[in-house]
């Protein structure tokens, strides 16, 4: 069993029918894990499942609203009934809202907080309950953002939610480390995905980004694979409550 071998482990990755989530699911599968991918769009989810299966990976698919406690409980129960234990949970599902705070309505605010932060609490709590009941420990990896620690105009709700993810990660570590659960976060920088496509297509923003990033390039989803495999593997068994920024150096440099 090498330090990064995930053979025999099962990983649930939310929001993984495309973008960062699918790249992380593929990376975990390539390291030997059985992956359970998740999404709300059935066509996208099935296409992702087909792709991973065709590549020879052990893959299952599940679909539930990450903001709905009953739906989460039902989905976890169904996996349990199929004898599937979740050893690795990646809380990746998230939405963005680019709108000045003065113009944000409460239902828009709630959608961002519920999808990005509350979902991480609900899934983390329920999976941790199972891990503790099994006495086997496990890995919880919460996907934060550059915005877990810095802000920019027009993404206030998202930033508040991702700042919450960072300190919720530390709170989970504080309470669950003694059960051999390692809870850490990844803070992706500006990665090329559907979510950031409008920014890529904006010559002004794109120019600023390339200039502001020490690596002088956008990240791509595959840039997250090494970090998620590390945090999902025995290599990180004594790492807890940390956030690792995968941002081309942006946060380290003014
Ligand atoms: C934005 C972007 C960022 C990225 C990412 C950066 O509008 O500023 O959407 O928030 O998505 O979160 O880490
Ligand atoms: Ca197992």
Above 0.85 for ipTM, yes or no?
Answer: yes
Contact (Cβ atoms closer than 8 angstroms) between residue 6 and residue 28: yes
- Quick one: which H or E segment has residue 30? helix 19-30
- Quick one: which H or E segment has residue 188? strand 181-188
Whether residue 158 lies in the annotated active site: yes
pTM for the whole structure: 0.98
Neighbours of ion ligand 2 (CB under 5 A): 85
DSSP string across 35-91:
EEEE-S-HHHHHHHHHHHHHTT--EEEE---TT-HHHHHHHHHHHHHTTPPPSEEEE
Q: For position 199, what pLDDT does the model report?
A: 96
Q: For position 1, what pLDDT does the model report?
A: 61
Mutate which of 158, 186, 194, 249 for ligand 1? The one with the most ligand atoms within 8 Å of its CB, which is 158
Domains of the chain: 2-191+220-252 (3.40.50.720)
Query: Which residues sit with their C-beta closer than 6 Å to ligand 1?
Result: 96, 98, 145-147, 152, 155, 158, 188-190, 195-196, 199
Mutate which of 21, 144, 190, 223 for ligand 1? The one with the most ligand atoms within 8 Å of its CB, which is 190
Nearest CA residue ID for atom 2, ligand 1: 196
Q: What is the DSSP pairing of strand 34-38 with strand 88-91?
A: unpaired
Q: Which atom of ligand 1 is nearest to the CA of 187?
A: 13
Nearest CA residue ID for atom 4, ligand 1: 190
Q: For position 190, what pLDDT does the model report?
A: 98
Q: For position 2, what pLDDT does the model report?
A: 86
∠ CA 248-253-254, nearest 5°, is: 130
Catalytic residue among 158, 190, 230, 245: 158
From first to last of its 254 residues, what are the pLDDT tens digits of the chain? 689 999 999 999 999 999 999 999 999 999 999 999 999 999 999 999 999 999 999 999 999 999 999 999 999 999 999 999 999 999 999 999 999 999 999 999 999 999 999 999 999 999 999 999 999 999 999 999 999 999 999 999 999 999 999 999 999 999 999 999 999 999 999 999 999 999 999 999 999 999 999 999 999 999 999 999 999 999 999 999 999 999 999 999 99
What's the gap in Å between 155 CA and the centre of ligand 2?
39
Indicate which ligand has the atom closest to the C-alpha of 219. Answer: 1
């Amino acid at each position: 069993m090498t330090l990064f071998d995930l053979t025999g482990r099962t990983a649930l990755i939310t929001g993984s029918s495309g973008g960062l989530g699918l790249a992380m699911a593929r990376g975990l599968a390539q390291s030997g894990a059985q992956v359970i991918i998740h999404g709300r769009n059935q066509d996208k989810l099935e296409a992702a499942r087909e792709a991973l299966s065709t590549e020879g990976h052990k893959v299952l698919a599940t679909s539930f609203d990450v903001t709905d406690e009953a739906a989460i409980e039902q989905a976890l129960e169904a996996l349990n009934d199929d004898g599937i234990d979740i050893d690795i949970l990646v809380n990746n599902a998230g939405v963005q809202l680019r709108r000045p705070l003065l113009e944000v309505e409460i239902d828009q605010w709630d959608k961002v907080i519920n999808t990005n932060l509350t979902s991480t609490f609900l899934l983390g709590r329920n999976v941790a309950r199972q891990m503790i009941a099994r006495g086997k420990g496990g890995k919880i990896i919460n996907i934060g953002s550059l915005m877990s620690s810095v802000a920019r105009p027009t993404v206030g709700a998202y930033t508040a939610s991702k700042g919450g993810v960072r300190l919720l990660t530390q709170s989970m570590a504080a309470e669950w480390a003694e059960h051999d659960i390692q809870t850490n976060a990844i803070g992706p920088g500006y990665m090329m995905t559907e979510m950031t496509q409008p920014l890529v297509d904006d010559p002004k923003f794109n120019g600023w980004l390339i200039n502001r990033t020490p690596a002088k390039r956008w990240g791509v989803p595959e840039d997250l694979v090494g970090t998620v495999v590390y945090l999902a593997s025995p290599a990180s068994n004594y790492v807890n409550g940390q956030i690792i920024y995968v941002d081309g150096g942006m946060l380290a440099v003014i």
